[in-house]
Structure formats: C-alpha cells, structure tokens
Copies of this chain bind each other. A is one copy, B any other.
C-alpha cells in the first residue's frame, strides 16, 4: 500500500529533543530560543490570544494553550500534578503541535517537557534583561526542582549571572542542583533558609511547585532595587509571594487576562495596575527606571512562548535529522474518498494473507 508524503508529520521525541539541544549546545539553544521569544513579543499584536483552557481536578490541572499569528498555529498540552513525583512521574509533562493555518495540517509534533523547561527559563531571562538591575551578578534560586538548572543556565548565558544562592526544603534536591551545575564556573552557595538565600542577590527567582497559596518570600526579605522572577505560581490558588511585596513592586506580566487568574496578582484587586511585558520590549512603556525600584515578573507561561519554541524547533529541523515521520494524517489518493481508503486497505490485507 503506497504511503504518500502528506500523511506524515515530523515527530520530535524526547530523545530527539535531547539530541537536538545537545547538538546545538544548551547555552546556544537558550540564547536562540530567547531570540525567537523576543521576536514574537515584538509582534504581540499579530497574535490571536486566549487564556489557556484548563481542566482542574483535585490532583492537578491539564491545560491546552493555543495561539496563532495568522500563518502558523501552535498549541501545547501540559499538565501540572505536584503529587506526581511520589509515583516517579514528572510534575509537568507537555507536548505540542505546530500547524499551517492555510491548510490546517500539522507541521510538527514535539515533546515539550524538556522544551517547556527551556522556554520558561529563556522567557525569564528575556524579561530580566529588561527589568533586572544592570550588571546583576548574583541570583537567589528558591525551589530547586526540575526548572531550577534551566533557570540558572539561562541567567548565566543571557545575563552573565556568576553566583547562585540556592534554597529548597528538600536538601537532596539542592545538592542535586549544585551537582548538575558544576563545571560551569558558577559560584554556588547552598543556603539554610530563603532569608539566607536572598542575601546580596540582585535577582530572586522562585520556582516552587506546591499547588497552594504559599509564602516563599515575605515582605521584609525584599530589599530595594531587586528583580523578582516569580516562576512557580501558575494556577488559581497557587502563589509564592506575600501580598505586601506585590504592593511595593512594579509588576510585569505576559497576558493580563490569564495572569489575573493564575499569577501572583490573583491576590490583588482585578484593576491593580500591571505592565504587559511586550510593551516594554517594544519600547512603549518603561521597564526598570529607578535603581531602588522593585521589579516583579509575574510569570505564568503563555501560549505565545510555546509557539516561539515550536517555531524555533521547526526551523532547527530543516538542518537536522533529529525527528522521525509519524503516520498521523489520513491521506487517501482522492481526498473526498476517505472511506475508499479503508476498502483499499482491506483489499490489500486480504491479498497479503493469500500471498
């Protein structure tokens, strides 16, 4: 039975993605991915945007995150299940699809667990380039779970961070993070408390995973002039910062209709002023304009970032062999004859049995 090319969709497995990232180099991958994200934030107004479509349960959430720039369409499937680690599973797994708007045909199916970790870190670094104090060299990293090393590498590669101050309630996770980041020339301190971790840090990244309102940072821990990169709070009822910090900060967000529901700012009045990050990147609004200003990137992760990541991977595949072809789309010889394809398969199977 002949298989024409139209039925096949390039598929990037987890192993393919690892090999693509390693072949590119982790730092180069983060830097290039950041460029794609920044490019798409510059043309923010071209995107068809909608808050992600979430299905909540007692254990976690499953979300679909679609967007389109009119030429390409992308969506990501992602779950968030904090208890998963108990059964040896990931808290977050993801995959995504990039499609051609003109035909609706998928162009790419890709794992996105690793890709999401990279894009989240690249996004944080893009925001910090506009919001963090100039020449910041020390970052506190609170929560050393699956996202932590990616954050560290992105801030090292894109902002020149030289010193990390880690804290996690799980000391094994802290040690693992330090071990994974050895040989990069980073100075790494393991701290006994969040208070100790933020000492001397110009940038504070929080990336904890509990599905509840937590207070990882309290008001007295936050000195003038720091940049807070709040990565962990990303669904209703899940926050990391004390409300008083928010009231002292200039708050930058990806897409307000989503962040109001999911971000740290769910603790604030619905009309509390926030700045959309794309406006800062486009020069329409100020980012950091005072040395003593506290800036907060209230990151929840938006569909456009996943779109950028899929668009980047799709470009990389043009010069790479790190994918396989998946027989995902029915492609009858005559497009209106879908049923006939079944009949021809039946005839072929019968003949194969006789032969």
Residue of B nearest to A65 (CB): B64
CA distance A68 to B57 in the complex (A): 10
A60–B88 Cα gap in the complex (Å)?
Answer: 42
Interface residues of A in 146-164 (CB under 8 A from B): 146-150
Helix, strand, loop or mixed for chain A's interface? mixed
The answer to whether A84 and B97 touch across the interface, beta carbons within 8 angstroms, is no
B93 x A79 contact (CB < 8 A): no
Interface centre among A13, A18, A99 (most CB of B within 10 A): A18
Contact-residue size bin, chain A (C-beta under 8 Å from the other chain):
35 or more
Q: Smallest distance from the beta carbon of A78 to chain B beta carbons, Å?
A: 8
> A332 vs B84: C-alpha distance in the bound complex, in angstroms?
13
Q: Mask for A219-250, Cβ within 8 A of B = 1, else 0?
A: 00000000000000000000000000000000
Q: Name the residue of chain B whose CB is nearest to the CB of A91.
A: B335
Quick check: A337 and B176 within 8 Å, CB to CB? yes
Q: If the complex has contacts A97-B77, A180-B340, are A89 and B106 also in contact, measured as CB distance less than 8 A?
A: no
Residue among A48, A330, A343 with max Cβ neighbours from chain B (10 Å): A330
Question: Complex: how many Å from CA A60 to CA B340?
Answer: 25
Q: Give the oligomeric copy count.
A: 2
Q: Which of B77, B95, B335, B346 contacts A89 (CB 8 A)?
A: B335
Tell me how far the C-beta of A109 lies from the nearest C-beta in chain B, rounded to whole angstroms.
8
Residue A349 CB within 8 A of the other chain: yes
Given contacts A146-B337, A330-B113, contact A103 B81 (CB under 8 A): yes
> Quick one: which of B19, B50, B53, B80 contacts A345, CB cutoff 8 A?
B19
Contact A349 B55 (CB under 8 A): no
On whether the beta carbons of B101 and A14 are closer than 8 Å, the reply is no
Chain B nearest Cβ from A184, distance in angstroms: 11
B335 touches A85 (CB 8 A): yes
- Say which one of A253-261, A311-319, A321-329 lies at the interface with B: A321-329
- Indicate whether A35 reaches chain B with its CB closer than 8 angstroms: no
Tell me whether A55 and B81 are in contact in the complex, defined as CB-CB below 8 angstroms, given that A14-B7, A330-B113 are known contacts: no
Q: Which of B80, B88, B113, B342 lies in contact with A18, CB distance below 8 A?
A: B342
B7, B77, B84, B145: which contacts A106 (Cβ < 8 A)? B77
B-facing mask of A87-120, CB < 8 A → 1, else 0? 1111101010101011111100001011001000
Residues of B within 8 A of A90 (CB): 329-332, 335, 338
* Complex Cα spacing A113 to B331, Å: 9
- Contact, CB under 8 Å: B176 / A13: no
A106 to chain B, nearest CB (A): 7
* Given A62-B68, A89-B103, A104-B61, residue A329 in contact with residue B176 (CB < 8 A): no
Given A73-B62, A105-B79, CB of A146 within 8 Å of CB of B50: no
Q: How far is the CB of A187 from the nearest CB of chain B, in Å? A: 19
Task: Given contacts A21-B342, A62-B73, list 13 more A-B pairs with CB under 8 A.
Answer: A57-B70, A59-B103, A93-B104, A111-B327, A113-B330, A114-B342, A117-B339, A144-B336, A146-B335, A146-B339, A180-B337, A180-B339, A180-B343
